[in-house]
Amino acid sequence: MHVWKFGGTSVGKPERMHSIRNLITADSTRKVVVLSALSGTTNALLSIGESLKSNAEEEAFEKIEHLKAHYDSFVRELFNTSEGLAAGQRIISNEFSFLRSLTRIKPFTLKQEKELVAEGELLSTQIFAAYLTEEGVPSVLLPALEFMRIDADNEPELGVIDQNLREMLPPHADKQIIVTQGFICRNPRGEVDNLKRGGSDYTASLIGGAIRAEEIQIWTDIDGMHNNDPRIVKKTFPIRELTFDEAAELAYFGAKILHPSTITPAKMRGVPVRLKNTMAPEAPGTLITDKLSEGAQNGQVFKAIAAKDNITALYIHSTRMLNAYGFLRRIFEIFERFKTPIDLIATSEVSVSVTIDNIENLAAIQAELGQFCEMEEPDYDQTIICIVGNFSSDHPGIALKVLKALEGIPIRMISYGGTEHNISLLIHGQYKAQALNALNDSLFVNV
């Protein structure tokens, strides 16, 4: 069994839905098909939510009608028969009357916002399933809200998801295509919730892990994970193979193609993840597994570069740290209490510098640190550049090559040696494009 996930642009136009119908029926592998909302819908829904939060009901209504007009013309183009079209229109009519009903709820809370934003995936999957029916493709719609669960810390409840899917999946002999919603789930209070922006990838790998799929395929509009950010650097190329750890690192440090949590469930259960392009299905894409194939380990040192923006660097000193132990624990405990992940760390005998992404609790963290340390002003708008490759000690000169490429760019922090496959550096965001291009030119010259 496979799990195939199609992102917003892969379902965003009627002709794209036609081509994914062809893709999923081209071979006989049993599939769970996970869909995102049509491109633009999640943003449109969130914008309706913003209007409702600020009591701009009229404005919210207009936005809802505008979105509905988009869906009306979408189904007119998608379906070929009058029965098909009627089914599509019924779905739209139901979901949009629910959306309109949300505008009457006051005050408009986070709970309602989550119900609102879930409509994107509810619409795309129902429309796609109706289209498969019109085309005579046997399919069944599996409601994600009935099996996808998160706990109080917003982490997926793996045991519950496993169990639910075991009970709900149609039996093996069945040749139906199983269609389900990405992104949406329920929380411990039973309310509609979600796996955060871009979370449909995560849904796919949670399902793939739970059912021990043979493969998870993530279909997007680019031919795999590239060696560098194609929006910033001209000459990039797709990487054929990555290990789970390399891919996780790249996704976490900014490669937009994959939701950063996606790798964990796949790695845990050893399910390969393949990144594919809906616009060029014959392209090999990127295969992410436990271990690279013989051919892929061709002594290549540098594999890929990613960048993560809006990073804040904190500088913490204490003269009492000289020869002391337990100091780092006291510092890290504070970040743990405020559920604030640390990305990079640099230490000297009396100082620690760390970078964080989420500054929601920064003031409180600083106040607590201030009780036993001196704090410098944080640096905002920093960027982490993450370079992934094979940096084992039998490859001398790696750091030199990286630093030489970055000549002229002030480097604030370096992390090297945490693993054998990552070097991370902190620079000011203003140098990001320059750094990515310079690294591309000197690390991938002859590729």
Give the Cα separation of 381 and 195 in Å (integer): 26
Which H or E run contains 426?
A: strand 422-428
Question: Closest approach of Cβ 197 to ligand ASP, in Å?
Answer: 4
Q: Which of residues 176-205 bind Mg ion (CB under 5 A)?
A: 198
Question: Closest approach of Cβ 373 to ligand ASP, in Å?
Answer: 38
Question: 3-class SS at 4?
Answer: strand
Question: Closest approach of Cβ 73 to ligand ASP, in Å?
Answer: 20
Give the Cα separation of 412 and 95 in Å (integer): 50
Question: Closest approach of Cβ 204 to Mg ion, in Å?
Answer: 10
* Interface pattern 318-357 for Mg ion (x via CB under 5 A): ----------------------------------------
Question: What is the number of the residue whose Cβ is closest to Mg ion?
Answer: 198
- Looking at the Cβ atoms of 7 and 260, the one nearer to Mg ion is 7
Helix and strand numbers (H, E) in the chain are 14, 17
How many chain residues bind Mg ion (CB under 5 A)? Answer: 2
Question: Closest approach of Cβ 7 to Mg ion, in Å?
Answer: 5
- Looking at the Cβ atoms of 204 and 398, the one nearer to Mg ion is 204
- Looking at the Cβ atoms of 198 and 389, the one nearer to ligand ASP is 198
- Looking at the Cβ atoms of 199 and 254, the one nearer to ligand ASP is 199
Q: Which stretch binds Mg ion (CB under 5 A): 5-13, 160-168, 269-277, 328-336?
A: 5-13
Question: Closest approach of Cβ 136 to ligand ASP, in Å?
Answer: 28
- Looking at the Cβ atoms of 98 and 380, the one nearer to ligand ASP is 98
User: CA gyration radius for the chain?
Assistant: 24
Residues 6+ apart with CB under 8 A from 302: 387, 389, 443, 444
Question: Closest approach of Cβ 321 to Mg ion, in Å?
Answer: 43
**Among ligand ASP, Mg ion, none, residue 49 binds (CB under 5-8 Å by kind):** none
For residue 7, state whether it binds Mg ion (rule: CB under 5 A). yes
Give the Cα separation of 49 and 60 in Å (integer): 8
**Among Mg ion, ligand ASP, none, residue 183 binds (CB under 5-8 Å by kind):** ligand ASP
Q: Which of residues 197-256 bind Mg ion (CB under 5 A)?
A: 198
Cis peptide before 265 (omega within 30 of 0): no
Question: Closest approach of Cβ 114 to Mg ion, in Å?
Answer: 19
- Looking at the Cβ atoms of 120 and 156, the one nearer to ligand ASP is 120
**Among Mg ion, ligand ASP, none, residue 365 binds (CB under 5-8 Å by kind):** none
Strand 215-220 and strand 302-317: pairing? Answer: unpaired
**Among ligand ASP, Mg ion, none, residue 236 binds (CB under 5-8 Å by kind):** none
For 278-301, what is the HEC assignment? CCCCCCCCEEEECCCCHHHCCCCC
What are the CA-CA distances from residue 128 to residues 6, 12, 84, 341 (Å)?
11, 11, 11, 38
Query: Given CA atoms 126, 131, 133, 134 in this order, what sign does their dihedral have?
Result: positive
**Among ligand ASP, Mg ion, none, residue 9 binds (CB under 5-8 Å by kind):** none
- Looking at the Cβ atoms of 88 and 182, the one nearer to Mg ion is 182
Q: Backbone phi, then psi, for 31, in 5-degree steps?
A: -135, 140
Q: Which stretch binds Mg ion (CB under 5 A): 2-10, 51-59, 75-83, 348-356?
A: 2-10
Residues 6+ apart with CB under 8 A from 294: none
Question: Closest approach of Cβ 112 to ligand ASP, in Å?
Answer: 17
Residues interacting with ligand ASP, by CB under 6 A? 7-8, 36-37, 42, 120, 182-183, 197-200
- Looking at the Cβ atoms of 41 and 51, the one nearer to ligand ASP is 41
Give the Cα separation of 267 and 243 in Å (integer): 9
Question: Closest approach of Cβ 150 to ligand ASP, in Å?
Answer: 15
Q: Do the Cβ atoms of 157 and 149 come closer than 8 Å? A: yes
DSSP labels, 48-81: HHHHHHTT-HHHHHHHHHHHHHHHHHHHHHH--S
Give the Cα separation of 358 and 335 in Å (integer): 11
**Among ligand ASP, Mg ion, none, residue 37 binds (CB under 5-8 Å by kind):** ligand ASP
Question: Closest approach of Cβ 185 to ligand ASP, in Å?
Answer: 11
Question: How many C-beta neighbours within 10 Å does residue 230 have?
Answer: 16
Question: Please, what is the angle between helix 110-134 and helix 41-53, to 10°?
Answer: 150
**Among Mg ion, ligand ASP, none, residue 51 binds (CB under 5-8 Å by kind):** none
- Looking at the Cβ atoms of 183 and 335, the one nearer to ligand ASP is 183
**Among Mg ion, ligand ASP, none, residue 197 binds (CB under 5-8 Å by kind):** ligand ASP
Give the Cα separation of 54 and 241 in Å (integer): 47
Site residues, Mg ion (CB under 5 A): 7, 198
